[in-house]
Structure 1
Amino acid sequence: MKTFLDTFKWSLIVSLAAFVVAFAYNGWAALALVVILGLMEISLSFDNAVVNARVLEKMSAFWQKIFLTVGILIAVVGMRLLMPLVLVSVTTGLNFNEVITLALEKGDPETVGTYGHYLEDAHPQIAAFGGMFLLMLFLDFIFEDRDIKWLTWLEKPLAKVGQLDSLSYVVALGTLLASASVAESPAVVLIAGVLGLITYILVNGLGSLFEGGEHGDESVGIHGSSEDISEELDKKSGGPAGLPLLVGKAAFFSFLYLEVLDASFSFDGVIGAFAITSDPIIILLGLGLIGAMFVRSLTIFLVRQGTLNDYIYLDHGAHWAIGALATILIVSIGVEVPELVTGLIGIFLIGAAFISSVVTNKRTAAAEALAAAQEPEPDLITSP
């Protein structure tokens, strides 16, 4: 209980402050909307927290603090407030001040010329960029042959075909071409998708390069599977007690990777928020202050409790949820997908992975207990 309160105390304090501001801003209606948006962001981003935790546990205490301070500022102000404004400005040609004025007018997103309408118009570019980044993350994970497999009937054949070099790029580019073919502006979707792919390659590649260089060994990558990371770190340190934590350039690029990942996840939430309210203040309070804070606190909690090592399939569930989100983003370029579907799929997959982990842990414990009980006692040697 103490660990929980220590980890989530700032999220709880900030949430209470957001509730007070929302109530003062527009009464009970605003407060209710902030609560709904906060819960929506947390449910949509739980898979984000699981993947964040796997990267964050390899970073030094200093960079973990950076993630919670500078990182939360980037998440709240940069990704949930400034990013939508910049996107509207870039896609419409309006200057930044005009976009801010539009946002504060709180126009109906269904009305042409409003902030919400412009942001909705930018959805194909947003979905293509975020969808390609998340799809590459999913494909690189699922095409890797790992000792631990969750959905063995599916992951085994995927690992076999994944032995073909650069298959993830072939699948991702094929998916992008297919999605662009049904888009109203194919060129725009293609450019945004390629930028998402380039961003993934650069951030992930540079992080892996510096991680390997600083440790003087081949790197498992900043988003490697849980068992690969554990095996590699144990090999380098002689055991879990002395994990070589990332510092310097490797930690910086891992931090950058986390922020880009957070941006990819937040795209869907920001667009979906306009189905609930077009007020940017309410969206900032719900998605930014409450949602982003709780996702980061949840990430730290998973790291401190060692949850990912205790529940071995959570990594898999999170990546399958990421694959589902990437698919939904790409499909949404041509077909509208309800926000409820996105949230429920992620929760279902991670919940199923958690239950599978618990069942596996119980079976393993029972097998070990049975083996110990059947082990013959050593013969007692008595002297004559």
Structure 2
Amino acid sequence: MTNNGKSTLSYFTWAFIVTAIGLVLGGWLGWQSTGTLAGMASVFFICTVLAVLEISLSFDNAIVNANKLKDMTPVWQHRFLTWGIIIAVFGMRIVFPLLIVVIAAGIGPVDALVLAAREPQEYARIMNEAHLPIAAFGGTFLMMVGLTYFFNHEKEVHWIGFIEKHMARSATVKGIEIAFVLALILVFSNLLEGEASNTFVHAAVYGLLTFLAVEVVGGLLDASQKAMSEAAKGGLGAFIYLEVLDASFSFDGVIGAFALTQNLFVIAIGLGIGAMYVRSMTIMLVDKGTLAEYRYLEHGAFYAILILSVVMYCQTLVHIPEVITGLGGATLIGISLWSSIRHNRRERTLGDHAGNRVATQLGEKA
């Protein structure tokens, strides 16, 4: 994708359309379930709040997606931004919560759907009980994503130098990020008691193994495509990686949404609207080359990912409102953007000074 001069608002056209359709559906659901204007307005409001929650929690997701997408071929970019968003909206916001209930309650998918429609309180209870293993799994996967970015001996651009330079140098020790995550798993498992401790360890190890499996499978798939054609790199392997990454980001939003409403369909509408804005932001970041222009923006996103992973671990011990998580991530990204702008201004000032010195020297020689 290349910058084609499109205005910023034009990237969000489909997001605006989905927002309008989603809010109308939300209002209709409110009217159907309560038969009152107050009920309709309440559901309408909840859908709006859920959309904002999803955007705030997933802005770092958009940046990481853009980082991966910029190296993918146009064909696979298009596939991720079409099929990938369908999987993200319908798979993670509807199918995933249903699967949790299917596994936790030992019932069929149809029964789970009926339970969501007729007994939303029982459905929400089962979802909340499944929060611990979900937080352990998702937190571990996201922690590996964040640490792998910083533990990279080839990484040359550093935002917070005294931290990142040490991490880059330490990356020569193979498996250091895995050792760090395993140590943290042991710490948190000791803070939990009985069956909860065992559940946390098992789910966290599965999260670690999933990350490693995705890395291996993704590398093999992309390597085989590259062998067939040099232009085919950044294909199916990268696509799978992004889908699992999006799933890990979605865990927190899906579980947190049940604090606002127990209606699965309202949750799907609200989070689906938010997911469309994340998609639009991803396209804009790739198309406009924003990551190259603002050099520390990626760093802010990956720090936000690390914080989110630690928050997910901490949520196995105490409840942390999703608003805090979202604001924390957004603040970090905002600071990294501000640092990038300052860096660009400083570089331009130095360039202007250097240009003036050269012009002065040439004038003196003349």
Report the TM-score, using the length of structure 1 for normalisation. 0.86
Is 1:195 aligned to residue 195 of structure 2?
no
CA–CA separation in structure 1 for the residues paired with 2:242 and 2:65: 6
CA–CA separation in structure 2 for the residues paired with 1:258 and 1:335: 29
Q: Deviations over 1:226-266 (max 9, x none)?
A: xxxxxxxxxxxxxxxxxx7645xx41110111110000000
CA contact (8 A) 1:277 1:283 kept: yes
Return the structure number with greater helix share. Answer: 2
CA–CA separation in structure 2 for the residues paired with 1:155 and 1:60: 30
Q: Which letter maps to 1:45?
A: S
Is 1:258 aligned to residue 271 of structure 2?
no
- Matched residue of 1:277: which SS? coil
1:245-324 to 2 correspondences below 5 Å: 246-247=232-233, 250-288=234-272, 290-324=273-307
Q: Deviations over 1:135-189 (max 9, x none)?
A: 1111111122322100112212222333321101101111122222333422222
Aligned twin of 1:239:
none
Structure 1 stretches lacking a partner, 5+ long: 109-113, 217-243
Aligned twin of 1:226:
none
Aligned twin of 2:142:
134
Change in Cα spacing, 1:245 to 1:265, as seen in structure 2 (3 Å) is farther
Aligned twin of 1:237:
none
Shift of 1:341: 1.4
CA contact (8 A) 1:33 1:286 kept: yes
Shift of 1:204: 1.8
Same amino acid, percent of matched pairs: 38
Shift of 1:303: 0.1
Q: Which letter maps to 1:193?
A: A
CA–CA separation in structure 1 for the residues paired with 2:188 and 2:365: 73
Q: Which letter maps to 1:206?
A: V
CA contact (8 A) 1:58 1:245 kept: no
Q: Structure 2 residue aligned with 1:115, among 112, 118, 123?
A: 123
CA–CA separation in structure 2 for the residues paired with 1:162 and 1:302: 28
CA contact (8 A) 2:63 2:285 kept: yes
CA contact (8 A) 2:225 2:235 kept: no
Is 1:90 aligned to residue 98 of structure 2?
no
Aligned twin of 1:340:
323
Q: Which letter maps to 1:370?
A: H
CA contact (8 A) 1:106 1:278 kept: no
Q: Structure 1 residue aligned with 2:76, among 35, 51, 63?
A: 63
Aligned twin of 1:38:
51
CA–CA separation in structure 2 for the residues paired with 1:285 and 1:213: 39
CA–CA separation in structure 2 for the residues paired with 1:74 and 1:293: 12
Moved more, 362-371 or 28-37: 28-37
Aligned twin of 2:218:
207
Aligned residues: 346
Change in Cα spacing, 1:106 to 1:296, as seen in structure 2 (3 Å) is farther
Aligned twin of 2:16:
12
CA–CA separation in structure 2 for the residues paired with 1:5 and 1:353: 23
Change in Cα spacing, 1:164 to 1:2, as seen in structure 2 (3 Å) is closer
Is 1:175 aligned to residue 184 of structure 2?
yes
List, as ranges, runs of 4+ consecutive aligned residues in structure 1 with deviation greater than 6 Å: 378-381
CA contact (8 A) 1:44 1:346 kept: yes
- Matched residue of 2:317: which SS? coil
CA contact (8 A) 1:71 1:259 kept: yes
CA contact (8 A) 2:222 2:236 kept: no
CA–CA separation in structure 1 for the residues paired with 2:21 and 2:119: 23
- Matched residue of 1:116: which SS? helix
CA contact (8 A) 2:217 2:237 kept: yes
Shift of 1:103: 1.1
Aligned twin of 1:54:
67
Q: Alignment RMSD, CA only?
A: 1.9
Aligned twin of 1:350:
333
Aligned twin of 1:111:
none
Shift of 1:104: 1.1
Q: Which letter maps to 1:203?
A: V
Q: Deviations over 1:95-131 (max 9, x none)?
A: 32332222113534xxxxx111111110111011111
Is 1:153 aligned to residue 162 of structure 2?
yes
- Matched residue of 2:120: which SS? coil
Q: Deviations over 1:166-215 (max 9, x none)?
A: 10110111112222233342222222111211111121223234445555
Shift of 1:6: 3.5
Structure 2 stretches lacking a partner, 5+ long: 31-39
Moved more, 274-283 or 4-13: 4-13
